[in-house]
Structure 1
Amino acid sequence: MKTERLTSTFRAFGNRNYRLFFTGQSVSQIGTWMQRTGVSWVVYTMTHSAFMLGLTVFVSQFPSFLFSLLGGIASDRYNRYKVLLITQIASMIQAVLLAVLVFTNHYTAWEILILSGILGVINAFDVPARQPLIHEMVTDKADLPNALALNSSMVNLARLVGPALSGIILVKFGAGTCFLLNAISFIAVIVSLLLMKLPVYISAPVKKKIRSELTEGFSYLKETSSIRMMMLMLGLTSLLVLPYNTLLPVFAKVIFKGDAATFGYINSFIGVGAVLSSVYLAAVKPKADLKVILLINTIILGISLMLFSHFSYFPLAMIFAALSGFGMMSQTTICLTIIQVDSDPKMRGRVMSYVAMAYFGMLPLGSLIIGAVSQKIGSPGAIFCQGITSLVIAAIFYKYLSSDRQKN
């Protein structure tokens, strides 16, 4: 019985292309989280400003919002495999430039922000191509929800390992080494992509104008209520709740009186919760009501943030940090799973571009807001308010998320 359950949990690994993708991405994502942690820490130690932390997130992610629609069209029009290969090479070059900038020891916060903005543009084309490409890697579409959940667990495992390594490397060797290791990590994902054997790409014979494709995608969202509601919930949470990560350097240095390693440990405990969440979702039975699970985990996210914000005893605070990671990742993963499963294959790239807008557009705006708010009421008060907001969002969507259960 246990063997069958374990096999069910990892059933997507039966697809060779997905195994390659998972392996390469696992290495690359660790490097990505090392770089994210390093950038935030460097900017904060240079400026000692919560607002600059918010601006860092804004600059790194808002370009993804601006260009995500073009990225979605590129994903639907062109070979997603080649688009993803190009974005990975471009991301590697960006990491190399960042490492060179820091190693030369002649850099300012604004130069780091500019390179972060370039990565945001790259991600605008990467995300809409990456997620739909998973569909092409999985031959049995019944394995798709499992593949998406495992993909989320891989990202979150990297979130566990990456910041912890980054904290140690920042203290021992400096930020430049973090950025260089991230650049090297892209070799793994590029090699995995080159080893894949995907079906021959057949381009669509008819190309519509970009404006027509954007209008068609928006009309599809309006007509598909399940996708529309999930995007609305994801957008609100990304704007008002998820940017709590922005203030973690302040907690590490001021509240817990630590250093870069402390910052890495906080991120890692959040990663522990996120990994547990992903494993849990991967093991969920296909007939499980994901909406009810989404509702419960949105509540968990809110309560855990409220508790984390007001405990200065580090070990206890880390328990609530892990719980916040669990709730956050469950919320995001379930929204993405429902959106992808319910999307028409021909519209999936554009749908994911709108999802990228909801996430990458709202999250950086929220980071600016939370950075400014924390300047007025302090970081603990700001995160406490975000926890309350999560509970309010759960209350707003309660009727929709519990509707299927009520029918049964």
Structure 2
Amino acid sequence: MAWLLLKQNRNYRLLFSGAGASNLSDGVGALAFPWLATLISTNPFDLALVAFATRLPWFLLSLPVGVITDRADRQRLMVRADLVRMALAFGVVALIAAGPPLPAGENATWMIAALAGLAFLMGAAEVVRDNAAQTALPSLVEKRDLETANGQIWSIEQIMGSFVGPPLAGLLIALAVPAPFLFEAIGFALAAFAVWAIAFPPRLNRGLPAGFWVELIEGAKWIRQHGVLLQLAIMLGLMNALSLAAMTYLVLFAQDILALEAVGYGILLTAGAAGGVTGGSAALGSPRASVRSKA
């Protein structure tokens, strides 16, 4: 059975648990950050600034972090990235405590700038953590179990990040505005501890004589030379940009038009995630997808 892998492989079980805790915190933050931004300012530009800062690191840092991941200790990268995110979550709590009572007035522009800065740093640490985690998995499971492990990791990430995190964030905001960020900090701390406890096998020294910039340029050339991957990267980039644009204004639409509170908005995000999973399952089950998978 597939779940025997979790039972029998301690190191993989710890990585799986860390992924669950980390992505639960990500899911809580996915609702908490834009909702907090609306409590500081209702200016759409301000909300877009915070959303843009959250995702900008993926555009700027994906290739450089890939080079770093190849050259550094992946366990340390994951632990440190989650600890940094823990500290940043506490930073958001400090920001709320230092600012005016929420909802804030028109003199809270500095809070938007600070929140955008914290969101950017949180996103940068997420890029480091996720890149390292994706490349660490093959060293913890047998090759025959890799497909199963990938599926389980993806499942726990989706469940925690898209289904559990957003409605939980809504409940926490209903209790107190800082509550979801305190929860985030605890989740990142648990994720860091789980990864720290993994007994990673020693990495073979591949010998990387080339410098950082040489490898970065080689990576960019490799992407450019593989047309299908380049097309997919461009398509996904455009899709993510459009999705981000829609999500930026969705929070205002939910508040002003649908009159939803934080809990209702969390349920709305969860429904969107459920639609995505349903559509993906239908596509995988279509005859054309089956033919492609056998080709």
* Partner residue of 2:147 out of 145, 148, 165: 145
Structure 2: gaps of 5 or more residues:
101-107
Q: Please tell me whether the aligned partners of residues 92 and 118 of structure 2 are also in contact (alpha carbons under 8 angstroms).
A: yes
Asked if the contact 1:89/1:190 (under 8 Å) is kept, the reply is: yes
Q: TM-score, normalised by structure 1?
A: 0.62
Structure 2 length normalisation: TM-score? Answer: 0.83
Paired residues of 2:53 and 2:116 also in contact (CA < 8 A): yes
- 1:228-256 deviation line (CA, Å, top 9, x unaligned): 34323322322334643223212321231
List 4+ stretches of structure 1 deviating above 4 A.
273-278
Gaps of 5+ in 1: 1-6, 282-291, 297-400
What does the per-residue CA deviation read over 1:324-357, in whole Å, with 9 as the maximum and x for residues that have no partner? xxxxxxxxxxxxxxxxxxxxxxxxxxxxxxxxxx
Fraction of identical pairs, as percent: 24
- Residue 130 of structure 1: aligned partner: 133
Matches within 5 A, 1:207-356: 207-241=209-243, 243-273=245-275, 293=284
Paired residues of 1:34 and 1:182 also in contact (CA < 8 A): yes
Give the CA deviation at 1:143: 2.8
Is the CA contact 1:91–1:122 (under 8 Å) kept in the aligned structure 2? yes
- The match for 2:167 is 164
Give RMSD over aligned pairs: 2.9
Q: Distance in 1 between matches of 2:293 and 2:150?
A: 27
Query: CA–CA distance in 1 between the matches of 2:264 and 2:132?
Result: 35
Partners of 1:22 and 1:406 lie apart in 2 by 27
What is the match of residue 179 of structure 2? 177
Contact 2:75 2:196 in 1 (8 A): no
In the alignment, is the contact (CA less than 8 A) between 1:94 and 1:115 conserved in 2?
A: yes
SS in 2 for 1:208: coil
1:132/1:238 Cα in 2 relative to 1: closer, same or farther (>3 Å)?
same
- Distance in 1 of aligned mates of 2:237 and 2:124: 20
Equivalent in 198, 205, 208 of residue 207 of structure 2: 205
Match of 1:16 in 2: 10
Match of 2:188 in 1: 186
Cα distance in 2 between the residues matched to 1:120 and 1:406:
34
Three-state SS of the structure 1 residue aligned to 2:39 is helix
SS at match of 1:205: coil
Give the aligned partner of residue 72 of structure 1: 66
More relative contact order in 1 or in 2 (CA 8 Å, sep 6+)? 2
The separation in 2 between residues aligned to 1:111 and 1:223, in whole angstroms, is: 40
Cα deviations by residue, 1:259-314 (Å, 9 ceiling, x for unpaired): 11221111122344456678x69xxxxxxxxxx739x7xxxxxxxxxxxxxxxxxx
